[in-house]
C-alpha cells in the first residue's frame, strides 16, 4: 500500500495556516516507509478549497498542517484523510516524528537556544 502525505509548507516550516498556504509537499511512501517520491506543488493562490481539491485528486492519506478551520477539518476527515493539525515546526523534523509514530495534533516541535545550546521543545 502506498502512503501519500501532504504537508503545507512555508520555507522549511509547516505553514501556520492551511487556508493561506501556497506551497505543499507531497511525499509518497511505499512499504517499510521508503520515500518513493517527493514533490512540491505551488498553487497560484492561497485557497483552502483548492488545497482540498488537490488532496482529494492526489488520493492523499494523511495531512500534516498548522491551523485549519473546522469546516475543512471535518470535510477531510469525512473523506477519510488522517489529519494532524495545529502542528508547528520544521517540516523535516515533523515528518520524522510522523514516521516514528510519535506525532500528535497540537505538537509544537521547535528548537530554542538556551545558554548557547539548542534544546528541542515538544509540547
The predicted pLDDT at position 109 comes to: 87
The Cα 64–Cα 119 span in angstroms is: 23
User: Which of helix, strand or coil describes residue 63?
Assistant: strand
Q: 3-122: which CATH topology? A: Nucleotidyltransferase; domain 5 (3.30.420)
C-alpha closest to that of 33 among 106, 109, 97, 112: 97
Mean pLDDT of all residues in 52-76: 96
Can you tell me the mean pLDDT for 101-113?
Answer: 84
pTM: 0.88
Residue spans per domain, the chain: 3-122
Across the chain, mean pLDDT equals 90
Provide DSSP, 55-105.
HHHTT-SEEE-SB--HHHHHHHHHTT-EEE-S-EEBHHHHHHHHHTT---T
Amino acid at each position: 500500500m502506498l502512503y501519500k502525505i501532504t504537508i503545507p509548507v512555508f520555507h522549511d516550516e509547516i505553514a501556520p495556516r492551511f487556508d493561506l498556504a501556497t506551497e505543499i509537499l507531497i511525499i509518497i511512501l511505499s512499504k517499510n516507509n521508503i520515500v518513493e517520491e517527493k514533490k512540491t506543488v505551488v498553487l497560484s493562490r492561497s485557497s483552502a478549497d483548492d488545497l482540498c481539491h488537490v488532496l482529494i485528486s492526489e488520493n492523499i492519506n494523511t495531512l500534516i498542517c498548522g491551523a485549519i478551520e473546522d469546516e475543512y477539518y471535518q470535510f477531510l476527515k469525512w473523506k477519510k484523510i488522517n489529519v494532524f493539525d495545529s502542528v508547528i515546526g520544521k517540516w523535516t523534523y515533523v515528518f520524522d516524528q510522523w514516521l516514528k509514530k510519535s506525532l500528535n495534533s497540537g505538537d509544537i516541535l521547535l528548537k530554542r537556544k538556551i545558554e548557547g545550546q539548542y534544546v528541542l521543545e515538544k509540547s
